[in-house]
Amino acid sequence: QVQLVESGGGLVQPGGSLRLSCAASGIMFRVSVMGWYRQAPGKQRELVANIGSSRSTNYADSVKGRFTISRDNAKNAVYLQMNSLRPEDSAVYYCNAVNVGSAYWGQGTQVTVSS
């Protein structure tokens, strides 16, 4: 059974930083494309960043230069370092894994950027 468990969300002031973590189990992590998506109230879920098995990365234009995605294959974990956070970054952040054509989702973690 595939499980993706996110942690690290919370309330932060504008300009602050957070680091999200996602622990994966039940999948061939090394060959999976891992990603972070987010969904704000009333909006569609959108890709924030993803990282391939070769560690190639892809970012949404809105987070380039502020967010960094990384993975630790030894720990079956993927991370999202978020710096210079803005109120518009507030959303539920979901961990995503794509492996052999199947997609899996975590339960999400809330990030709120507010003063």
In the block, residue with structure tokens 């949404």? 60
Does the pLDDT at position 51 exceed 90? yes
**In the chain, pLDDT over 90 holds for what percent of residues?**
95
96 vs 32: CA distance, rounded Å: 10
Q: How far apart are CA 38 and CA 10, in angstroms?
A: 14
Q: Tokens representing 85? A: 């956070």
d(CA 42, CA 29): 32
Tell me what pLDDT residue 100 has: 85
Give the model confidence (pLDDT) of 6-42 as tens digits: 999 999 999 999 999 999 999 999 999 999 999 999 9
Coil, strand or helix: which one is 107?
coil
